[in-house]
Amino acid sequence: MQTLSLQPIREAIGSGEFKRAQLLWDSSAARLAEEFESDGFTQARLDEIRELVEWSRTTFLCDRAHLQDQLRRLQAELRVTSGYQSPDTRFGPATVAARF
């Protein structure tokens, strides 16, 4: 059975396309299960999957940290522009409400 390439998942996560990465994970999970049932996983394969999971987690953490920084900068700009009574409605309070 042909081994499923995990590179597309890595590329999707690397470019920040998390939605596509999620779709790829979901479809890959089924293929990986078939692969396991059919041939089982070698140690190298297990290491590869484990490394991808760990790398993905770290990449998500980094992206979240960068986004939080951007939010903080936007909030600071909002405070400054509010002080000048900026009419720019793009930076209304609703824009910066987010949860992680």
Binding site for another protein (CB under 8 A): 8, 11-17, 19-20, 23-24, 55, 58-59, 61-62, 65-66, 68-69
**Cβ atoms < 10 Å from Cβ of 92:** 10
| Closest alpha carbon to 35 in 69, 82, 1, 71 | 1
57-87 in b/e form (b: 16+ CB < 10 A) is: eebeeeeeeeeeeeeeeeeeebeeeeeeeee
Q: Which is nearer to another protein, 8 or 81 (CB)?
A: 8
Q: How far is the CB of 42 from another protein (least distance, A)?
A: 24
Q: Which is nearer to another protein, 15 or 95 (CB)?
A: 15
**Cβ atoms < 10 Å from Cβ of 40:** 9
Q: Which is nearer to another protein, 42 or 67 (CB)?
A: 67
Q: How far is the CB of 44 from another protein (least distance, A)?
A: 21
Q: How far is the CB of 71 from another protein (least distance, A)?
A: 12
